[in-house]
Amino acid sequence: MKQQRCIGLAIDEADMSEFNIQAIRQAASRLQGRVVRTPLLESPMLSERAGCRLFVKAEALQLTGSFKIRGALNMILSMDRTARHAGIVAFSAGNHGQGVAAAARAVHCPAVIVMPDTAPRIKVDNCRWWGAEVVSYDPQTEDRVEVAQRVARLRGMTVVPPFDDYDIMAGQGTCGLEIVEQLNDLHVTPDAIVINCSGGGLASGVSEAVKDAFPDARILIAEVLGYEKVARSLATGIPQSNPSVPNTLLDGIAGPTAGAKTVAVLRRHQANGLGVSDDEGLAGVAAAFKMLKLVVEPGGAAALGAVLVQHPVNRLNN
Interface residues with its own copies (CB under 8 A) are 36-39, 41, 43-45, 58, 60-61, 63, 65, 129, 289, 292-296
Nearest CA-CA partner of 291 in 47, 62, 64, 39: 47
Q: DSSP for 46-92?
A: HHHHHTS--EEE-GGGSGGGSTHHHHHHHHHHHS-HHHHHH-EEEE-
Smaller CB separation from its own copies, 41 or 222: 41
Minimum gap (Å) between residue 289 Cβ and its own copies: 6
Smaller CB separation from its own copies, 106 or 194: 106
Smaller CB separation from its own copies, 101 or 306: 101
Smaller CB separation from its own copies, 157 or 296: 296
Minimum gap (Å) between residue 100 Cβ and its own copies: 15
Contacts 24+ apart (CB under 8 A), 21-24: 21/208, 21/209, 21/212, 23/166, 23/169, 23/170, 23/173, 24/170, 24/173, 24/174, 24/176, 24/177, 24/205, 24/208, 24/209
Minimum gap (Å) between residue 293 Cβ and its own copies: 4
Smaller CB separation from its own copies, 123 or 229: 123
Minimum gap (Å) between residue 247 Cβ and its own copies: 26
CA angle 122, 126, 131 (to 5 degrees): 150
Minimum gap (Å) between residue 278 Cβ and its own copies: 21
